[in-house]
Chain A
């Protein structure tokens, strides 16, 4: 039984880890490419949001390679996402593929049900074995995000530009072949080491930019046109408010156990948004505030075209930007592959915050005691 799942940035590493530790044969879909998007766009409803289309593309490319089971997240969605798996199943059936789809819903207070669904794929593995492999996969996800974070920090400072990106390309092609949590964590460790040894320009002043927005567009580099890499090359260190491990730990595990603590987020977003608005809309507003407090120079807000929760967030962000004096730029992503306009906006934004930073610094110098 060959199991596959859709891509979302480095999420495939955690998925591989959990499934392979349970003895499941995993087929990671080929990385998202133009073909993935073309396949997805061709077979999806035109007005569906971009992630759904890429998911479809991933499935088709995996099914072509012999995948038999698709694992997809579900849930009674706060946005269209909750309905994705159902629509996708129908689309693939209409196309004539034969497969089994397992929809993992976030355990709403019922962890046993979640584990039961997982064991549908894993065969007769005990609950303890399943839980243990989830635990190991969570660790792998955390390590992977640490590696990514390291890249975001090193890239703007590297002596020879492109070094980090080259290392990471190497990493991903090896990660496709690695098996199970043991090999994956060893590989991540090895590359953490390599990236941390990349020659950097000591003491170089870099800009710091936080990225907020809809989870898929923030995490999947194909959709955001590798925004972290582009900003890194423009001399900015980035941080993403949502990562794979954050999602796994907070939304899958803690929320299921009623341990997810949103106090910080609620406090930060309170003047602008007092409740959950679906997806990560509230988080986008809250994290913009939190980035300012952490001393970031600017925030970029990403969303796929027609994403409702982030449209709500977008209408609150100009006020946050004004009151907290932090530049915020919203970028709406869709099936675009032309990068010229995108680069213009990123470069324009970098110029803007660089000049602002210089000016703020000049003010501090003339106002002693500040």
Chain B
């Protein structure tokens, strides 16, 4: 029977599942909206996977993304890894020579600098929404352009219209201004792409040595306008991997494969996890003025993990669950 490795990336906007075979090639991928319900969406994802792939033998599982811990507890992941490492591992698997990774997702963006196949520096956006996908989403909605057509429309631009990219609020008012002056929509749209790229490079790229080959991944990599803006701004060719939007999940699966090979055993609980009844029990800890909001994860009526406390009073109970 063929062995597969599962990778789950639970992000703030989307949850991605991939299945890799023993050689590391992708055999299955799914992209679901998280919609603020990570538990439900992970179960849903596993259910769909089982329906489409049948009862495949999964030899290892890894989770990543901001919901990695929760997903990891749910499925019994072999590795729970941060997004920096998983994105780097997946990019290196596609092109071992990659020196720079640009990653733009819905809520956050990052830049990863690699040298000789290892991460040498990275940065994630902090307080600004202007360098992320949700900024584009919002502006597309305002202009009533489906986000899928946004990039292609930008490529039709012939004249440069400068839109302020310092901050999403400034960008929006600047854009409205340009519109009212009568500029063409495609020029404004490309101006927005440039603004996002400028913001990204100023925010994350400052002080970093961006060298080719450059790989561009994350959901926003689908946008050809942004790709073009990066190409012109950096003066380099931008490589977009085939599975650009699920690279985090691929990385998690690759790391899980490595871990299982050295350990020889997986802790994955099986696809039937989707049948379990998961719940959360919120606990308001009144132990001190921090008033920590504790969450206990419950599977079929039994507590399996606890977190959210500052002092460790609750989360240290995890040992008792194991």
Is there contact, CB below 8 Å, between A352 and B122?
yes
Is there contact, CB below 8 Å, between B82 and A359?
no
Most buried by B among A30, A169, A343, A352: A352
Is A36 an interface residue, CB under 8 A from the partner?
Answer: yes
How far, in whole Å, are A35 and B289 apart by their CA atoms in the complex?
6
CB distance from B227 to the nearest CB of A (A): 25
Is there contact, CB below 8 Å, between A356 and B118?
yes
How far, in whole Å, are A305 and B126 apart by their CA atoms in the complex?
11
B81 — which chain A residues lie within 8 A by C-beta? 347, 351
Is B83 an interface residue, CB under 8 A from the partner?
Answer: yes
Is there contact, CB below 8 Å, between B289 and A34?
yes
Is A196 an interface residue, CB under 8 A from the partner?
Answer: no
Within 314-370 of A, Cβ neighbours of B (below 8 Å) are at 315, 317-318, 321-322, 327, 329, 332, 334, 340-341, 343-345, 347-349, 351-352, 355-356, 359
Is there contact, CB below 8 Å, between B84 and A341?
no
B289 — which chain A residues lie within 8 A by C-beta? 30, 33-36
Contact of A341 with B124 at beta-carbon distance under 8 Å, contacts A162-B312, A351-B85 already known: yes
Is there contact, CB below 8 Å, between A352 and B120?
yes
CB distance from A355 to the nearest CB of B (A): 5
B126 — which chain A residues lie within 8 A by C-beta? 332
Is A108 an interface residue, CB under 8 A from the partner?
Answer: no
Within 278-320 of A, Cβ neighbours of B (below 8 Å) are at 305, 315, 317-318
Please report whether the interface of chain B is mostly helix, strand, loop or mixed according to DSSP: loop
Closest residue to A322 on the B side, CB-wise?
A: B209
Is B290 an interface residue, CB under 8 A from the partner?
Answer: yes
Please report whether the interface of chain A is mostly helix, strand, loop or mixed according to DSSP: helix
Contact of A351 with B119 at beta-carbon distance under 8 Å, contacts A318-B207, A341-B124, A345-B124 already known: yes
Is A112 an interface residue, CB under 8 A from the partner?
Answer: no
Is there contact, CB below 8 Å, between B288 and A315?
no
Closest residue to B66 on the A side, CB-wise?
A: A340
Is there contact, CB below 8 Å, between B118 and A347?
no
Is B27 an interface residue, CB under 8 A from the partner?
Answer: no
B108 — which chain A residues lie within 8 A by C-beta? 341
How far, in whole Å, are A165 and B311 apart by their CA atoms in the complex?
8
How far, in whole Å, are A284 and B191 apart by their CA atoms in the complex?
39
How far, in whole Å, are A345 and B121 apart by their CA atoms in the complex?
11
Within 93-127 of B, Cβ neighbours of A (below 8 Å) are at 108, 116, 118-122, 124, 126-127
CB distance from B195 to the nearest CB of A (A): 23
CB distance from B121 to the nearest CB of A (A): 7
Is A166 an interface residue, CB under 8 A from the partner?
Answer: yes
How far, in whole Å, are A169 and B310 apart by their CA atoms in the complex?
12
A165 — which chain B residues lie within 8 A by C-beta? 312
Contact of A169 with B311 at beta-carbon distance under 8 Å, contacts A327-B121, A352-B118 already known: yes
> What is the size category of the interface that chain A forms with chain B?
20 to 34
Is there contact, CB below 8 Å, between B118 and A305?
no
Is B169 an interface residue, CB under 8 A from the partner?
Answer: no
Closest residue to A345 on the B side, CB-wise?
A: B124
CB distance from B216 to the nearest CB of A (A): 19
Contact of A348 with B82 at beta-carbon distance under 8 Å, contacts A30-B289, A318-B207 already known: yes
Is there contact, CB below 8 Å, between B66 and A344?
yes
Is there contact, CB below 8 Å, between B207 and A352?
no
B83 — which chain A residues lie within 8 A by C-beta? 344, 348
Is B141 an interface residue, CB under 8 A from the partner?
Answer: no
How far, in whole Å, are A231 and B66 apart by their CA atoms in the complex?
19
Within 150-173 of A, Cβ neighbours of B (below 8 Å) are at 162, 165-166, 169
Is there contact, CB below 8 Å, between A334 and B84?
no
How far, in whole Å, are A30 and B85 apart by their CA atoms in the complex?
39
Is there contact, CB below 8 Å, between A318 and B208?
yes
CB distance from A34 to the nearest CB of B (A): 5
Closest residue to B208 on the A side, CB-wise?
A: A318
CB distance from A314 to the nearest CB of B (A): 8
B84 — which chain A residues lie within 8 A by C-beta? 344-345, 347-348, 351-352
How far, in whole Å, are A317 and B108 apart by their CA atoms in the complex?
24
How far, in whole Å, are A352 and B87 apart by their CA atoms in the complex?
13
CB distance from A152 to the nearest CB of B (A): 17
Most buried by B among A33, A165, A169: A33
How far, in whole Å, are A347 and B86 apart by their CA atoms in the complex?
12
CB distance from A178 to the nearest CB of B (A): 19
Closest residue to B12 on the A side, CB-wise?
A: A340
Is B291 an interface residue, CB under 8 A from the partner?
Answer: yes
Within 298-322 of B, Cβ neighbours of A (below 8 Å) are at 310-312, 316
How far, in whole Å, are A344 and B291 apart by their CA atoms in the complex?
24
CB distance from A199 to the nearest CB of B (A): 16
B124 — which chain A residues lie within 8 A by C-beta? 341, 344-345
B207 — which chain A residues lie within 8 A by C-beta? 315, 317-318
CB distance from B206 to the nearest CB of A (A): 8
B291 — which chain A residues lie within 8 A by C-beta? 33-35
12 contacts between A and B (CB under 8 A): A31-B288, A36-B289, A162-B312, A315-B207, A327-B121, A340-B66, A347-B81, A347-B84, A348-B82, A348-B84, A352-B122, A355-B119
Given contacts A165-B312, A329-B122, 14 further A-B contacts (CB under 8 A): A34-B290, A35-B289, A35-B291, A162-B316, A318-B207, A327-B120, A347-B84, A348-B119, A349-B122, A351-B81, A352-B118, A355-B118, A356-B120, A359-B116
3 A-B pairs closest in CB distance: A348-B84, A318-B207, A33-B289
**B residues in contact (CB < 8 Å) with A:** 66, 81-85, 108, 116, 118-122, 124, 126-127, 207-209, 288-291, 310-312, 316
**A residues in contact (CB < 8 Å) with B:** 30-31, 33-36, 162, 165-166, 169, 226, 305, 315, 317-318, 321-322, 327, 329, 332, 334, 340-341, 343-345, 347-349, 351-352, 355-356, 359
